Structure 1
Amino acid sequence: GSKGLTRKLTLGVCCMQNKATSNPMQSLLRRLDASGAFNIIIFDEKMILEQDVSEWPIVQCYVSFHSKGFPLYKSLEYVKMRHPVEINK
């Protein structure tokens, strides 16, 4: 049986590199990781900017942070296509 085993949720973090590496974001990601509830996938800025959203990783939960140069339309397209649980709408 799977008694005592907890399944981690995949959490996609979609933001520009400067946002992903900021101290507040790193602090947030450390806390989420320490919870043990998530397998965190940080979407690479090059992927966000250059790849079609159909090529982005498929995640169960999704959070995006808008900043200068962030293609919000692609983030919205990803949510429409994959239907993840959105942490921040």
Structure 2
Amino acid sequence: MNNENSSKWFDINFKTKTDNKIDEVLLRLFDLMKKSLHIYFNIGNSSDIHEFLKIAATKNNVDHSFIEWIKVKGIPRLKSIDFENLPRE
């Protein structure tokens, strides 16, 4: 498992420090969110969040309001977080 790819999958790029527990946990959280979205929407794989949203939007019986929330609020909110300056402990 490559956790760094999971953060990049969300179109978020920040430098992590291998000795930092906060970064380690944050990367694990990105990995879990990515896996959970794929399971929830029954999508085998996608290259990034944008491809994922395109695939999810074409499926029947999905929560389109949730997809819209991810696009309009979720992704912009994630991108507004300054991951480089998070607390270190």
Scaled to the shorter chain, the TM-score interval is under 0.3
Could you tell me the TM-score, scaled by structure 1's length?
0.27
> Which structure's residues are more often strand, by fraction?
1
> Which structure's residues are more often helix, by fraction?
2
